[in-house]
Structure 1
Amino acid sequence: MTQLDGVVKPKTKRSKRFLQGREPKLNENIKNAMLIKGGNANQTVTQALKDIYSLKKPNAVMYKKKNITRPFEDQTSLEFFSKKSDCSLFLFGSHNKKRPNNLVFGRMFDFHVLDMIELGIEKFVSLKDIKNSKFPEGTKPLLIFAGDAFETDNEHKKLKSLLIDFFRGPTVPCVRLAGLEHVLHITALEGKIYFRSYKALLKKSGCRTPRIELEDMGPSFDFTMRRTHLASDDLYKTAHRQPKALKPKKKKNVSHDVFGTKYGRLHMQKQDLAKLQTRKMKGLKKRKGEKAEGEGEEAEATTAKKAKTQ
């Protein structure tokens, strides 16, 4: 590939397909995440990154080498790795005396850091420490958020949005019941965030709907929120903007109520109820006298019309 005046021009068909895959699309690709170790990551942080990588696979890239960078002070290296690996989400792990066992969740917009939130690990149970069966790779998780803070506090709202972006997986039109094998339960309580991962087991219940049991599968975290770097409302609005081609076209005379029931409005000409065809019954038939009166009125109306025209 050659670069002239800031425009990359492909030389081969392979590089052309590569650049077409990076171009903006109406329906964007699945968001990939990159997991990066800091220069002083300890065993706890390294294992936490490995476990989250297992939850995120195959839409994740794990960097095994340590990278000496500080996301809240200098973001150029993160933006470089994002462009190189085509990842719009990132997770950075580090450890130091001031902030031990540190994880930074973040996301990109146009290969620049949009927002990131720093979480400290207070308690950690690894995926390998729990000897239970695991879910298949690439399973779409069911996300459950509990706690009033996710609805009232601005920072917790952003964290909820960020975690949904990170773990939601591919967008699918429908999900079968047997495919709901993985459950992520995230609770905000008394200033802490409890992250739990379960496997959903479908048991016999004696009826058509199975009984569901949750089995602890790991990993599980007890987080405390530390530093945050949130974008402005205008930048969030720009990042959420959708192209006009994806916006649904408004249909005339069609409305929906709060329950989703669809209503349509029909426009018809004014009807003459005297000519309305009803059920033929003896009691509804006109008598001879009524018919004669009706015929006489019609005859008078036609003669009056003829006189006007003459």
Structure 2
Amino acid sequence: MLMYRGNVNSMVTQVLKVKNITRPSEDQTSLEFFSKKSDHSLFVFGSHKKRPNNLVIGHMYDYHVLDMIELGVEKFVSLEDIKNSKCPEGTKPMLIFAGDDFDVTVAYIRLKNLLIDFFRGPIVSNTHLAGLEHVLHFTSVLRKSHCRTPRTELEESRPSLGLILRRTHLASDDLYKLSMKMPKALKPKKKKKNVSHDTFGTTYRRIHMQDQDLNKLQTRKMKGLKK
């Protein structure tokens, strides 16, 4: 069983080697215990006894199982079988999901969110195709492009899996929405009108005033100016 992601500065991976009888689909007590002990939110569990080549992935919310999906490994290509050049370790991956199920079927939507949580890196708005090195592509292979966009070809450089969806343990809609709620401290502050800041942190406010008639302005009258 592999658990990672916690309240630490960098990603921590901890392999739990204690021989415990764990059946995630029947009893989540051990998963919740290890999650609270290690302060981790994601887990992967592999088994082969009852269901051959079984892989269970999931994530926790408040140290309880939120979503858990069981996958069957039908095809596996190891890193040793890849003859192409490998991308450097730590290269930011680009995630591509192909197929309508990832946008329509509830189980596949949750599976997509799980995979994003496992493999996501920094979020960027634009990507230069010439500098694209690491792609995690799910479901299908890119075909030849017939548009002006530069053609991108994929070559195997990492292990690959052929999976089938087995049992699922999904959170209720209310609990799922609660887990996705962003804390107030992390919410972006609303931009205030007519307020700006410079590089030194000084705040400037713009005030809009109506035109004033200077002829009606009350001034101090001096006796020496009287006629």
Q: Match for 1:72 among 25, 28, 32?
A: 25
Alignment of 1:104 with 2:56, yes or no, is: yes
Deviation per CA, 1:190-235, whole angstroms, max 9, x where unpaired? Answer: xxxx6x8xxxxxxxxxxxx987542211311111100000001111
1:271-290 matches, cutoff 5 A = none
2:86 and 2:158 in contact (8 A); partners too:
no
> In structure 2, what is the equivalent of residue 222 of structure 1?
162
Q: Match for 2:114 among 162, 182, 187?
A: 162
List gaps (5 residues or longer) in structure 2: 1-5, 142-148, 195-206, 212-227
> In structure 1, what is the equivalent of residue 69 of structure 2?
117
1:223-238 matches, cutoff 5 A = 223-238=163-178
Q: Counterparts of 1:251 and 1:268 in 2: how far apart (Å)?
A: 22
Q: Counterparts of 2:163 and 2:45 in 1: how far apart (Å)?
A: 15
Letter in 2 for 1:251: K
> In structure 2, what is the equivalent of residue 133 of structure 1?
85
* Number of aligned residue pairs: 189
Q: Counterparts of 1:61 and 1:146 in 2: how far apart (Å)?
A: 31
Q: Match for 1:88 among 18, 41, 57?
A: 41
Which of the pair is proportionally richer in helix?
1
Identity %: 67
TM-score (norm 1): 0.52
Q: Considering Cα pairs closer than 8 Å and 6+ residues apart, tell me whether 1 or 2 has the greater RCO.
A: 2
Q: CA RMSD in A?
A: 3.4
> In structure 2, what is the equivalent of residue 182 of structure 1?
134
Q: Counterparts of 2:81 and 2:15 in 1: how far apart (Å)?
A: 21
> In structure 2, what is the equivalent of residue 142 of structure 1?
94
- Partner SS state of residue 165, structure 1: helix
Q: Match for 1:245 among 185, 193, 198?
A: 185
Q: Counterparts of 2:82 and 2:191 in 1: how far apart (Å)?
A: 53
Sort the Cα spacing of 1:136 and 1:87 in 2 relative to 1 into closer, same or farther, 3 A: farther
List gaps (5 residues or longer) in structure 1: 1-21, 23-27, 33-58, 188-193, 197-208, 255-265, 271-310
Deviation per CA, 1:175-197, whole angstroms, max 9, x where unpaired? Answer: 8858742110001xxxxxx6x8x
TM-score (norm 2): 0.70
